[in-house]
Chains A and B, each alone.
Chain A
Amino acid sequence: MTVRATSDLRNRWAVPRASIPDVGPEEFRGALLAAIGAGGRFVAYFGMPEEAQHVRIYAVVEDELARLAAISTRVLDRFPSLTPDCSSASRFECEIAEQCGVEPAGHPALKPVRRHPPDHLPSGRAAPAGFDRNAYPFERIESHDVHEVGVGPVHAGIIEPGHFRFRAYGEEVLDLEIMLGYQHRGVERLLETLPPRRGVLVAESIAGDTVIGHAEAYCAAYEALGRARKSPRAQAIRGVALELERLANHLGDLGAMAGDVAFQPAAAFLGQLRGDCLNLLMMLSGNRYGRGLVRPGGVLFDVPEPMADEIHRRLEALAEGLRPVLDLLFEHAMVQGRFEGVGVVPQAWCQSLGLVGPVARACAVARDVRHDHPFGIFRFAHLPIATAWAGDVLARALVRRLEAQRSLDFLLERVRSLPRGEPRVPCEALRPDELVVALTEGWRGEIAHVVVTGGDGQVARHKVIDPSFHNWPALGAAMAGNQISDFPLCNKSFNLSYAGHDL
């Protein structure tokens, strides 16, 4: 485990860039393969333009014991691909090729990830010709019996754009390919160029349903680089907001899953409860999705005592209404019949694809940033990890149910006993030549913001990895062998973000 031996990282601790091992491309490849082979997984793996037309490639990995380590290499226009020996590297390397214009030599299936022109090219370099972002090479099966069904990018519901290409034999899906990138807004470039007071607004918009999660990770990175020590009160308020967001989204998704199997009673009531949670976020921040609350150095709004009492009162009412609705949903035989055995994710994929969040936890993989890399209030308040083992839609629904209940318990316990302190402290200027990995457990899973500062104390690279980036391939793979009519249900059980992936 050479990666581990040479560098030591902690969640939200800025380290000098010089402390991260800088090795040759072959050694880089060997060290990473050893680390991943020993049960590790990629947290981040990205390129950063440097002087003299070179590209610096950083990889952050987490080993089996949830320890973080980073390693880097410097390449000109190509580097040896890890993908042939490590499937979870595939999309990261496609992304590096797309963003920085360097070629992962030996990559077996190089495809555009978001279909945009390279936005992290080293200055003075032209975009490589061999990577046509407009020609997306779909897999093909030549057969009279196999038919293709293309869905999207414009969908029937009010959801985000993405193109799904099914190859089906009758009702059975042989293969599903997902083409994304319609929501690409250049988030990383924006975050690298905007000052924090505006950047945080961009961070809140990375995925519209994960406002708190992304803003929290963004601010954590800046606080680490700016050596700001948040008050316990600010940390607790952020934790409350994060869990409220999780509660709202899990309840909304459970309701949507009930709606997808046409079980309207649960769909209607869970939709209403989701609205109640959003209204609580509204009380906290003035916005139903929690915009404007989390800012570098703490939170913008304090929670006065009467408000905390009111939140507690409403949460108690919510808890009372929630239990019968969840029982109704999970004890209904027809609903169980629809949820069970659909969209199975084998546990091995959690390692081979590097899955995170409820999707991984539904395969009995206990992976949770709040537990593995505790931050803020979660260093003191331990939420048990919710897991299930079957890896199907029912397991993902169960994990969400458990997490919703535990978030609710956490909120009921904490919201009236917030510690003292200033809601917000000032951030100093960013330290030069440092790197920080800020992880947050958003409701979809691990959100990673990796920020690298240059010698001038300006942000040189801001890498955002939404949990959706890890998990999208699992959705496509899990559909093989399932009924095409079960896709919407399976999709909803993952409920991945298009915007979070497309950045």
Chain B
Amino acid sequence: MNAAGLAPVLLLMGLAPLVQGLVHRTRALITGRRGIPLLQLYRDLWKLARKGTVVSRTSSGLFAALPSAVLAAAIGAALLAPLGPGGSVLRFPGDFVAFAGLLALSRYALILAGFESGSSFEGMGASREVTIATFAEPALFLCLAALALVTGGRDMSSLFGSPMARAPLLAPALILVAGSLFVLLLAETGQVPVDDPTTHLELTMIHEVIVLDLGGPDLGCVLYAASLKLTLLAALIAAVLVPPGPMHLPWMVAGVAAIAVVVGVVAGFSARIRLDRLPQFLTAAVVLASLALALTLR
């Protein structure tokens, strides 16, 4: 347990809704609108925290635990992610498997919550979410494997502990890893071109439709967990690309902000990919990661 690593985790957890706001704002500005305020998600969370919830009659007792499970798993993943100079809060050999597992658990709880509502929309969204995950997870593991080969590490802190500085010659592979992680980020956090977070059309939704029947603190948990996931993945991409040094934390924050802006730009300039072509797009993440892996093999 690395207590010193707690401060950066708490900082990024606090900034997560702002990162989400940055993505929204960038996309809005590109499309010629002013967009919602940067701090809107904080207000939404505060509003939702004070509300009650209505639960579908078809749901079982399990439902009540699911939104908090979504959030808890995301926070658990944050504790495993090396966000500060001293590495991650929790650190043990092979913890990257736990990291991927916690992200999967978070998604699984969300999918289950969708099914619990008993609506055919949510079922549809859940099945789409699983389809995306099927393609996203191998890419994530390939990325981690490439990083392990570059750094020779066995835990998240060494995997993401300034790989650029340790193996500058492998920079091309690291850039490919970052590209793969970026595609993963678009998919995992439901950004255009994978999903459209602003649509009202329930038949086309992926992430949004699962939370249609959530309300109040439950919805707050899920929304916050989504912004946290976005921030985490952005931080990992930044860690892969950003050089190490005493300025680690400011670099990290600046990197996360820059990636949020890039996500907004990509979302603003692209249209959604047709759902049956999504696997092809996600395969790009697998291909990028495989290439990185091939470059690092010695």
Interface positions of A (Cβ within 8 A of B): 147-151, 156-157, 170-171, 258, 260-265, 267-269, 272, 332, 334-335, 337-338, 342, 483-489
Complex Cα distance, B193 from A264, in Å, reads: 11
Shortest beta-carbon distance from B58 to chain A in Å: 15
Shortest beta-carbon distance from A461 to chain B in Å: 40
Complex Cα distance, B193 from A269, in Å, reads: 20
Question: Across the interface, do A260 and B204 meet the contact criterion of CB distance under 8 Å?
Answer: yes
Complex Cα distance, B59 from A398, in Å, reads: 46
Sample (30) of A-B pairs whose CB atoms are under 8 Å apart: A147-B120, A147-B123, A156-B201, A171-B276, A260-B201, A260-B204, A262-B193, A262-B270, A262-B271, A262-B272, A263-B270, A264-B27, A264-B31, A264-B198, A268-B32, A334-B193, A334-B270, A334-B271, A338-B272, A338-B273, A483-B276, A484-B124, A484-B203, A485-B204, A485-B274, A486-B204, A486-B274, A487-B203, A488-B203, A489-B204
Contacts of A147 in B (CB 8 A): 120, 123
Question: Across the interface, do A488 and B270 meet the contact criterion of CB distance under 8 Å?
Answer: no
How would you classify the secondary structure of chain B's contact residues: helix, strand, loop or mixed? loop
Contacts of B33 in A (CB 8 A): 264, 268
Given contacts A261-B271, A338-B273, A484-B124, 12 further A-B contacts (CB under 8 A): A149-B203, A156-B200, A260-B201, A262-B272, A264-B268, A265-B30, A265-B268, A268-B33, A334-B193, A334-B270, A337-B277, A486-B204
Contacts of A148 in B (CB 8 A): 120
Shortest beta-carbon distance from A354 to chain B in Å: 28
Question: Across the interface, do A265 and B32 meet the contact criterion of CB distance under 8 Å?
Answer: yes
Contacts of A486 in B (CB 8 A): 204, 274-275
Contacts of B277 in A (CB 8 A): 337
Contacts of A267 in B (CB 8 A): 31
Report the number of A-B residue pairs with Cβ-Cβ less than 8 Å.
89
Question: A264-B31, A265-B269 are known contacts. Are A483 and B200 too (CB-CB below 8 A)?
Answer: no
Question: Across the interface, do A332 and B271 meet the contact criterion of CB distance under 8 Å?
Answer: yes
Complex Cα distance, B275 from A484, in Å, reads: 9
Contacts of A149 in B (CB 8 A): 120-121, 124, 203
Question: A149-B121, A485-B203, A485-B204 are known contacts. Are A337 and B192 too (CB-CB below 8 A)?
Answer: no
Interface range on chain B (Cβ under 8 Å from partner): 20 to 34
| CB closest chain-A residue, reference B205 | A485
Contacts of B269 in A (CB 8 A): 265
Complex Cα distance, B277 from A338, in Å, reads: 10
Shortest beta-carbon distance from B80 to chain A in Å: 33
Shortest beta-carbon distance from A260 to chain B in Å: 7
Contacts of A260 in B (CB 8 A): 199, 201, 204
Which 6 A-B residue pairs are closest in the complex by CB-CB distance? A264-B31, A262-B196, A263-B271, A334-B271, A488-B201, A262-B272
Contacts of B276 in A (CB 8 A): 171, 483
Shortest beta-carbon distance from B79 to chain A in Å: 34
Complex Cα distance, B33 from A338, in Å, reads: 24
Complex Cα distance, B269 from A399, in Å, reads: 25
Complex Cα distance, B121 from A484, in Å, reads: 11
Q: 8 Å CB contacts to A: which residues of B197-227?
A: 198-204
Question: Across the interface, do B30 and A264 meet the contact criterion of CB distance under 8 Å?
Answer: yes
Question: Across the interface, do B204 and A338 meet the contact criterion of CB distance under 8 Å?
Answer: no
Shortest beta-carbon distance from B99 to chain A in Å: 30
Interface centre among B124, B201, B276 (most CB of A within 10 A): B201
Question: Across the interface, do A171 and B273 meet the contact criterion of CB distance under 8 Å?
Answer: no
Shortest beta-carbon distance from A329 to chain B in Å: 9
Question: Across the interface, do B273 and A334 meet the contact criterion of CB distance under 8 Å?
Answer: yes
Complex Cα distance, B277 from A171, in Å, reads: 12
Question: A262-B199, A334-B193, A487-B203 are known contacts. Are A268 and B31 too (CB-CB below 8 A)?
Answer: yes
Question: Across the interface, do B200 and A157 meet the contact criterion of CB distance under 8 Å?
Answer: yes
Contacts of A265 in B (CB 8 A): 30-32, 268-269
| CB closest chain-B residue, reference A166 | B203
Residue-by-residue, is B24-68 near A (CB-CB < 8 Å gives 1, otherwise 0)?
Answer: 000100111100000000000000000000000000000000000
Complex Cα distance, B269 from A261, in Å, reads: 12
Shortest beta-carbon distance from B186 to chain A in Å: 12
Question: Across the interface, do A337 and B273 meet the contact criterion of CB distance under 8 Å?
Answer: yes
Contacts of A151 in B (CB 8 A): 202-203
Contacts of A170 in B (CB 8 A): 127
Complex Cα distance, B190 from A60, in Å, reads: 52
Shortest beta-carbon distance from A356 to chain B in Å: 26
Question: Across the interface, do B271 and A338 meet the contact criterion of CB distance under 8 Å?
Answer: yes
Contacts of A150 in B (CB 8 A): 120
Interface centre among A151, A156, A260, A267 (most CB of B within 10 A): A156
Contacts of A157 in B (CB 8 A): 200-201
Complex Cα distance, B279 from A171, in Å, reads: 14
Q: 8 Å CB contacts to A: which residues of B224-279?
A: 267-277
Contacts of A489 in B (CB 8 A): 204
Interface centre among A150, A260, A334, A485 (most CB of B within 10 A): A485
Question: Across the interface, do A485 and B275 meet the contact criterion of CB distance under 8 Å?
Answer: yes
Shortest beta-carbon distance from B195 to chain A in Å: 8
Contacts of B120 in A (CB 8 A): 147-150
| CB closest chain-B residue, reference A336 | B271
Complex Cα distance, B123 from A150, in Å, reads: 13
Shortest beta-carbon distance from A361 to chain B in Å: 25
Contacts of B127 in A (CB 8 A): 170
Cβ-defined partner of A171 (8 Å) among B30, B202, B275: B275
